[in-house]
Structure 1
């Protein structure tokens, strides 16, 4: 009998402790958000600190990689690593002390229909990722 009352008490205590958390939302970086970008427009999804978009068919992968690198350089980032193949590309850039982020990763890959671009900014910030993506699209005139 004592065990049963102890279990009931613990259950009620847990419910009471968890009740304030019911109205809490998930961490913004973990939620998925979607938005249109550019003049074309291009649909981009931000999830788990990563912005992902598929560029229109016919977009040249080499051009996307070159423009991405140039945009990062113009924004004051130092290109730490850049590697490109005919099917994909990766750029890692480091921010200076004046910039609010430490590292930016831009990856591209060709996927049958078009180029898939992923932007990852550390620390993760959706608005900065979207602003960088918009800058790249403007340079590509998309």
Structure 2
């Protein structure tokens, strides 16, 4: 059985990538492994930009950063439930929310563990180093 993954980086625009991952899983007659990925570096970058522009003090940055990460964790559960409802006609494996500084090492690890196809619902806030992504990764920015 093939290992197919759908990695959600963008909690607001992922439908196109979701349906692409669904089609790949159906064609392979394999379950679809789904993970919501929180890029800690992307959140830090957003906070840094707000601080650089004078919107936040250092103390406010830390507090807001913590709150944003908590908010993303809550949002992840909502997004994963929506995906479960939308893709109810195929077998799904919902994986735990993954929080790391960047997504590239995680994608490489999935490939090392046998992933044959990984569809990533990208975000303009997460700057992927596309030149180092494994060939198994299909990157979609909505």
Both proteins in one fold, TM over 0.5 = no
User: Which has more radius of gyration?
Assistant: 1
TM-score (ref. length: structure 2): 0.26
TM-score (ref. length: structure 1): 0.26
Structure having the higher helix fraction is: 2
Indicate the structure whose relative CO is greater, using CA pairs within 8 Å and at least 6 residues apart: 2
